[in-house]
Amino acid sequence: MKEDSRETRITEKKSPKKYPREADAGKIDIPKEELVDAQGLILDTSVPMEERGRWLAEKLGDPCCFRVGDVGVKLEFADEGPSLQALLDSFMERKKSGI
């Protein structure tokens, strides 16, 4: 990866763990000390788009369950729902129009 000011900075690096998604839906039952702190994570734009998911998983361990400082973050997606890209596009359009 490219060495520059956009290089990834993570305050802690934990070994990747897999956490059950359905069993603990809606809350995080994992001690925050066991979650990777993504507060200093900066996306490396030199990584090709098709490889960024893998890159993020390497940095966070479980990209759907991590923390930012003292706040636990758990991402969940509906099987039949819109894609994350579609949701982000819609959100940005609403922000742009002042809604």
As a residue count, the chain comes to 99
Q: What's the pTM value of the predicted model, to 2 decimals?
A: 0.52
pLDDT per position as a tens digit, 10-44: 444 444 445 444 444 556 678 888 899 999 889 89
Q: Which domain holds residue 8?
A: 1-99
Q: What is the pLDDT of residues 52-95, one digit of tens each?
A: 989 988 988 888 889 999 988 888 878 888 888 898 899 899 99
Q: How many domains, the chain? A: 1
